[in-house]
């Protein structure tokens, strides 16, 4: 059944018990992203360590949306929280690439993607790609804003 | 009115080629998204094709035979569409869609206001469209963004204040405060006839009495009513009535704005160019009479021809019959949804003064996820805020699932949807 291609068990697990949900203090930057077609939204906070090669000290988020957007945020948290920023950004890129896998040949990097690899089926549903990307793009935006302000 | 007789849905479905296709690995298509756009019968497709193959030319230009035939086709389409809603052809303006029709209405206020502030001469009757700072525009809390944002924009640019008629928890207009909301300050009242998200059919005549009493221009968004019930635009008591072609079995790319002759005559155009002029010099221009004044450029002729075929198709079915069919199916849908534990209807939960746009939420399953499971069953519905985000907010939801009905739907479609909803609940572990 096609439905299970998208809603992998690991995705439903993250949806039911999301990691990193609930806004945390302290933080450096907060962003608010919405998906205007469906009304899903996320508020995301990020804190980076000092120095030239910062570490993502803390990521937290809150928001509401479908199972795909909520599970994706949880998976994103696992892949970026506590990681060196360069690696976290590489995970964002790997996930963005995975979302293009319906039209491009993509070799998923399991190391960078972790549980996010389960979202490969979502890429087959163009209307849901934006749901999956919402939190990742919010993180990318917040981290980029914070880096630029330093 | 003659007693309605039942539509032969099986026969009607044969007129819509797309309804025989399958989706998602061979599932028969169950199309319950006609509120977004309706499907088109062969008659409409053939009319467009016939026009392009036999009479295509730019209308109202050229002296050759094709130009004459194309112009005849265009103006005859206008006459048939106007007749369908009880209007005179000269009072019917073709636009791109209802969104453009409503923007045309809103920009008429902006144009009049700018002309007045520049000290330019107004058209006869155009004073009604002039806005002073602090004047008010009244809409409702159940408007589609197309009948909200143009007015918000108008307010921002002119210093007018937007007010709105609130809703009851049942999803109907709360008309108790009408005399407080619609006052001497009110320059325009613009309300939806049938809500695209709640399905509510509003008492537009009653609201119109208040608008008329204070001399406000009265605009009705009839996008979801003209396709589904007999509508006599003149009898609605409005100055301007807007609707789209593609929601009433017609093509995309064409909409309508009906206006009272004197209202249209008062309005200045917001799109200018060829075909809408009288005389043009390098120093300035004068404009044609309506409807040409509002139809700059080569118009959407094949689409007008297609829309005329659509109204012929609907008129053959009989709009009383269309209404009766959809009304009874609306009642059936509501009944089936109310029977489902964990499903809540957003909007009137009965079939009184409501049409076949039926929104609901499924407890603990996001509407996007419900829509995905429905899609897996071949059921096409709309999910999200339906371009009515403030209405969703009013009911404390960020989105809903909406089933919207048309002449080609019947109880089997609803039964398939209900089975799919139960499957969604099962899939997401809400109910077993």
pLDDT at B4: 74
Cα gap A89→B21, rounded to integer Å: 44
pTM for this model (two decimals):
0.95
Tell me the chain A residues in contact with residue B383 when contact means C-beta distances shorter than 8 Å.
Answer: 38
**pLDDT tens per residue, range B68-99:** 999 999 999 999 999 999 999 999 999 999 99
CA-nearest residue of chain A to B373?
A3
Q: Which portions of chain A are predicted below pLDDT 50?
A: none
Q: Quick one: tokens of B79?
A: 């006459």
Test B389 with A1 for CB contact under 8 angstroms.
no
DSSP B122: P
Cα gap B269→A63, rounded to integer Å: 44
Å from B320 to nearest chain A CA?
35
ipTM of this complex: 0.91
Residue in B24, B398, B428 closest to A2 by CB: B24
Q: How confident is the model at residue B432 (pLDDT cuts 50, 70, 90)?
A: low
% of chain B surpassing 90 pLDDT: 96
**pLDDT tens per residue, range B161-179:** 999 999 999 999 999 999 9
| Cα dist from B156 to B10, B137, B218, B288, whole Å | 51, 11, 20, 30
Residue in B369, B376, B389 closest to A67 by CB: B369
Domains and CATH numbers, chain B: 3-31+318-427 (3.90.1150.10), 48-315 (3.40.640.10)
pLDDT at B429: 84
From the list B96, B196, B210, B208, the residue with the least C-alpha distance to B148 is B196
Tell me the chain B residues in contact with residue A64 when contact means C-beta distances shorter than 8 Å.
Answer: 398
Q: How confident is the model at residue B1 (pLDDT cuts 50, 70, 90)?
A: very low
B157 alpha-carbon distance from chain centroid: 26
Test A128 with B367 for CB contact under 8 angstroms.
no
**pLDDT tens per residue, range B273-309:** 999 999 999 999 999 999 999 999 999 999 999 999 9
- Over residues B1-11, the mean pLDDT reads 80
Q: How confident is the model at residue B3 (pLDDT cuts 50, 70, 90)?
A: low
Test A39 with B427 for CB contact under 8 angstroms.
no
**pLDDT tens per residue, range B33-67:** 999 999 999 999 999 999 999 999 999 888 899 99
Contact A127, A40 (CB under 8 A): no
In sequence order, which ranges of A99-148 are alpha helices (DSSP H)?
110-113, 126-148
Instruction: Please give the biggest Cα pair distance in chain A.
Output: 49
Tell me the chain A residues in contact with residue B427 when contact means C-beta distances shorter than 8 Å.
Answer: 3, 7
Å from B29 to nearest chain A CA?
16
Test A68 with B368 for CB contact under 8 angstroms.
yes
| Predicted confidence (pLDDT) at residue B342 exceeds the cutoff of 50 | yes
């Amino acid at each position: 059944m096609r439905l299970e291609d998208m809603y992998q068990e690991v995705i439903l697990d993250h949806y039911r018990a999301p990691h990193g949900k609930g806004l945390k203090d302290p933080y450096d930057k907060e962003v608010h992203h919405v998906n205007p077609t469906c009304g899903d939204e996320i508020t995301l906070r990020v804190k980076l360590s000092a120095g030239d090669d910062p570490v993502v000290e803390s990521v937290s988020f809150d928001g509401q949306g479908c199972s795909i957007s909520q599970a994706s945020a949880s998976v994103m948290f696992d892949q970026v929280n506590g990681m060196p920023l360069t690696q976290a950004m590489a995970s964002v890129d790997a996930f963005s690439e995975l979302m293009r896998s319906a039209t491009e040949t993509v070799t998923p990097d399991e190391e960078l993607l972790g549980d996010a690899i389960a979202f490969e089926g979502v890429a087959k549903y163009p209307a849901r790609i934006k749901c999956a990307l919402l939190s990742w793009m919010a993180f990318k935006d917040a981290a980029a804003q914070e880096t630029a302000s330093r | 009115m003659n007693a309605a007789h039942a539509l032969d849905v099986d026969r009607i479905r044969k007129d819509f080629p797309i309804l025989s296709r399958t989706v998602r690995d061979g599932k028969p298509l169950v199309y319950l998204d006609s509120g977004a756009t309706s499907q088109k019968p062969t008659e409409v497709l053939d009319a467009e094709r016939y026009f392009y193959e036999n009479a295509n030319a730019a209308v109202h230009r050229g002296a050759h035979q094709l130009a004459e035939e194309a112009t005849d086709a265009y103006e005859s389409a206008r006459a048939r569409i106007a007749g369908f809603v009880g209007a005179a052809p000269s009072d019917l303006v073709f636009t791109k869609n209802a969104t453009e029709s409503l923007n045309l209405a809103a920009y008429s206020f902006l144009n009049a206001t700018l002309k007045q502030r520049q000290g330019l001469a107004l058209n006869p009757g155009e004073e009604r469209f002039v806005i002073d700072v602090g004047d008010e525009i009244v809409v409702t809390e159940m408007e589609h963004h197309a009948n909200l944002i143009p007015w918000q924009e108008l307010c921002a640019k002119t210093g007018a204040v937007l007010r709105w008629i609130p809703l009851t928890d049942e999803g109907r207009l709360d008309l108790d405060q009408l005399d407080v909301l619609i006052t001497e300050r009110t320059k325009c009242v613009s309300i939806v006839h049938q809500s695209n998200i709640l399905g509510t059919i509003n008492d537009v005549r009653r609201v119109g009495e208040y608008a008329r009493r204070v001399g406000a221009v009265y605009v009705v968004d009839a996008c979801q009513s003209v396709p589904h019930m007999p509508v006599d635009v003149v009898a609605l008591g409005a100055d301007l009535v807007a609707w789209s072609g593609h929601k009433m079995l017609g093509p995309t790319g064409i909409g309508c704005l009906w206006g009272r002759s004197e209202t249209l005559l008062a309005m200045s155009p917001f799109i200018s160019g060829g075909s809408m002029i009288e005389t043009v010099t390098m120093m300035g221009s004068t404009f044609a009479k309506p409807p040409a004044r509002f139809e700059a450029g080569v118009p959407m002729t094949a689409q007008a021809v297609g829309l005329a075929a659509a109204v012929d198709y609907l008129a053959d079915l009989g709009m009383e019959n269309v209404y009766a069919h959809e009304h009874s199916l609306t009642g059936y849908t509501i009944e089936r949804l109310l029977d489902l534990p964990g499903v809540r209807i957003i909007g009137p939960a009965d079939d009184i003064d409501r049409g076949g746009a039926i929104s609901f939420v499924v407890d603990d399953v996001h509407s996007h996820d419900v829509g995905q499971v429905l899609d897996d069953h071949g059921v096409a519905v709309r999910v999200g805020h339906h371009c009515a985000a403030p209405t969703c907010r009013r009911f404390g939801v960020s989105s809903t699932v909406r089933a919207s009905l048309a002449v080609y739907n019947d109880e089997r479609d609803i039964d398939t949807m209900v089975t799919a909803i139960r499957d969604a609940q099962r899939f997401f572990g809400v109910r077993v």
